[in-house]
Amino acid sequence: MDLSEFHSWSLEDRAAAVRKRGTFLGTAAQDGYTHALYHLDGFFCELWYCPVSSEIKLALGFTDSRMLEPYLKDIELPYF
């Protein structure tokens, strides 16, 4: 799957694919949401979780490394 295909799916299908096949990398909080960061098929994904409604409100895929900024202080990558 590529990023374009991922974004063509419904929110529910994107969230399910990320949870099933993605590699969890970390979380960040912003604007009342918890953002969970995953890596999936060569791109990164954020799932935006709303604690008030207990729902995922956004499943966003991206390749722009600038969007990783909120997570960098908490992510530890293994040495290979």
**Each residue's pLDDT tens digit, 25-45:** 989 988 899 999 999 999 999
CA distance 44 to 52: 25
Q: Residue 40 CB: number of other CB atoms within 10 A?
A: 19
pLDDT at 64: 92
Name the band, by pLDDT with cuts 50, 70 and 90, for residue 79.
low
- The larger pLDDT score, comparing residue 24 to residue 74, is at 24
Residue the block writes with tokens 């997570």: 71
Q: How do residues 56-74 score in pLDDT, each as one tens digit?
A: 999 999 999 889 888 887 7
Is the confidence at residue 55, as pLDDT, over 70?
yes
